[in-house]
Chains A and B, each alone.
Chain A
């Protein structure tokens, strides 16, 4: 994709990707590269400080903190990925299809999505766990359902503009099938927007997973998770005041990298997908850097600008000029919602 390739040229994106690649590596191999068994207790040496044997010290049951941190990465990341995968599946597909729903169907779908968006993540996940049993998959399913409206709205907004684009109508007149149009003309233009949303949702998901495990929901000890380690460390601050730092730093780094990546993706989606010459991209980049209107739109998940940007590449009139389906569903609220929710759901160690 142009957008993705363009993003890679931005140093911040490369740094973010490097961090994410490292986290992914830890997630896949964490348990295997851990220096000790993350569950092995040594009650003769509890709450030990960093030493040659235990680089990050030992916890309240004498377990190696570094090993637990490494082994805990998998569960924490996997959970966030699971939630986002559920959300993407539940959001993107109906989002694309909704373009053809008709006014009544659209109205119903949008109101349903609106009502889901009013629910707070953590409380909903706790309720779901109460109903379905205390497990990570139940909690992540609940989280996925709540994240889905974001994907739905963003996908629908992106696809709505394209649906009436002249080249799509031209393709239809030429007898192209619905699915061919979806795959060739629509999906590739929607994908960058979805990528931005995914990065953003992953960050939200990871924070929520950490909050839930902090509260003892989803994953139960002795299985290590970042949030769970943070929670147990708080009980022993008198012995190890520094103990919450390693898991907190890991959470911050990962979430920060995801958010930065989302920002860069959003920026290059707006600017980098412009005529595919390096020069044009540079110009666009400068314009963005100098505080052009596209940047002021705010970070991440800006479905609006991306929709406007894409068709103009193809030399068709801006989407803004195209009469879109009724309803205030194309831009606005979608990107702002995750931000608001994040503020409601900062993890609790405050």
Chain B
């Protein structure tokens, strides 16, 4: 009896699995076969959206190691706040928040009746546990951003109180990103490692199956606080498609929406696809290590900034989509400093003069580190050669670049992209802070640190805020070696069956998007 009963459930599970697969397939077929049905009901959800974008390094926001992951993690997690299309923090899981008069504490009020996707109640103590895990977990990658939080408490089930070590009005913005994603305590208390492949959040979708490096299948989460805005029943996430095949992939229906390189825009339009150019916070930048020769001489850093013809780079790398930029924020963003717009306009004569001043009248040799030599590095090499900077291209494997560049600070010059951050102060920390990933020289002028401190201390709705932020931007681009090149827009091509994708500057969201 015992032996036969131990066999039976196994068979049962197998046949159940087979049944499940069959059902899944029939649903998928139904979805393909009857496109009209999904669009008829205004409020009912339907349809499947296949997004060719990127899969996250981990489905656990505390251990995800790429800034880019925020887009995919936002599908399954929600935070107390979220950013609207312009990048302003607006209510999400919290319906409102209030800073104390001196800015050293902030109280969030949760919406009533929130649950995680598994049905567990999402109350203040769950938020506290989740935030505390991000702050205190031994290898947490979000902890550096949460240093201004002294203590999190949950005075009642609807109220989360954050006590801060210093006034920090950036907190609502900060919590809109990976840093503030609320993870189900039930999941990390029982099996924290499992979160890497089985996210447990309260986001617009829940993950139903995941194949690493291949595909993530998600389903609408009816318990999401803003579920009425989510019109898609099914969501599939794929790694970034290859430039050579992305248009064909969209045409054939392998993807409904995909990120495409500038070189494919014309082809996508010719193929009858809709192309959206969404301004984003992403900016191409060179990480410069002022501890390494020849950049230990500030004149050489300045020469580098003047030696680059950004217009030419933009034309070949993005086919003209995007904008030349000399600062970390794109035009139109509150932190964009108009006075720094043309700060390092291409001036080879000046670059040569600066090199001579720096004691390199015959030019200087340096190594340009990158993960792929084709394209931008080749072009930079040729441009630098014009002014007498002889660059050797050094290719490091993409998988090791984080370790070599961000952790060992072993390279003098690295071609990089900054994905932008939910909070401006956080962006400054990453780019210019003494612990900043993209500040390999590990030095920050005290006046810049003070300016960033001033940004954090200024309420976002204060008329002083834009001024403070622009002042910090102006100071940073003049005192820090980071060499900004151009802003990279989000180029999305989509099938006509998908409604327009909302233009979110920071994190791509899918509220209101329909697919038939």
Contact = CB atoms under 8 A, between A and B. Distances in A.
Overall SS of chain B's interface = helix
10 contacts: A60-B375, A61-B378, A61-B382, A216-B395, A220-B393, A221-B374, A234-B244, A235-B243, A235-B244, A238-B267
B461 to A, nearest CB: 44
Interface in A256-300: none
B379 A41 contact: yes
Interface in A173-201: none
Interface of B: 243-244, 247, 261, 263-264, 266-267, 312, 315-316, 372-375, 377-379, 381-382, 393, 395, 397
B268 to A, nearest CB: 8
Interface of A is mostly: loop
Contacts of B374: 216, 221, 228, 231-232
Contacts of A216: 372-374, 395
B311 to A, nearest CB: 9
A229 B76 CA distance: 41
A43 B266 contact: no
Contact of B373 (A41, A60, A220, A236): A220
Contacts of A236: 263
Given A61-B382, A221-B373, A235-B244, 4 more contacts: A43-B312, A46-B316, A60-B375, A216-B395
Nearest to A239: B263
Contacts of A237: 244
A332 interface: no
Interface residues of A, number: 22
A96 to B, nearest CB: 40
A238 B268 CA distance: 9
B379 A43 contact: yes
A331 interface: no
Contacts of A41: 378-379, 382
A108 to B, nearest CB: 37
A60 B379 CA distance: 10
A319 to B, nearest CB: 51
A231 B374 CA distance: 10
A78 interface: no
Nearest to A231: B374
Given A43-B315, A232-B374, A220 B395 contact: yes
A209 B428 CA distance: 45
A39 interface: yes
Interface of A: 39, 41, 43, 46, 60-62, 130, 134, 216, 220-222, 228, 231-232, 234-239
Nearest to A228: B374
Contacts of A60: 263, 316, 375
Nearest to A349: B244
A41 B244 CA distance: 23
Question: What 10 A-B pairs are tightest by C-beta distance, nearest first?
Answer: A238-B267, A220-B373, A221-B373, A222-B378, A43-B312, A234-B244, A235-B243, A221-B374, A41-B382, A221-B378
A60 B263 CA distance: 10
A239 B267 CA distance: 8
Contacts of A61: 316, 375, 378-379, 382
A130 B399 CA distance: 12
Contact of A39 (B247, B264, B382): B382
Nearest to A220: B373
Nearest to A232: B374
B264 A238 contact: yes
A231 B375 CA distance: 12
A46 B397 CA distance: 28
User: Which of A221, A237, A238 has most chain B Cβ within 10 Å?
Assistant: A238
Nearest to A134: B395
A55 B252 CA distance: 35
A154 B77 CA distance: 63
A222 B395 contact: no
A60 B317 CA distance: 9
B318 to A, nearest CB: 12
Contacts of A221: 373-375, 377-378, 393
Given A41-B379, A134-B395, A221-B373, A238 B316 contact: no
A46 B315 CA distance: 9
Contacts of B381: 222
A221 B368 CA distance: 13
Nearest to B396: A134
A231 B372 CA distance: 12
Contacts of B316: 43, 46, 60-62
Nearest to B263: A236
Contacts of A62: 316
Contacts of B247: 238
A60 B378 CA distance: 11
Nearest to B385: A39
Nearest to B376: A61
A224 to B, nearest CB: 11
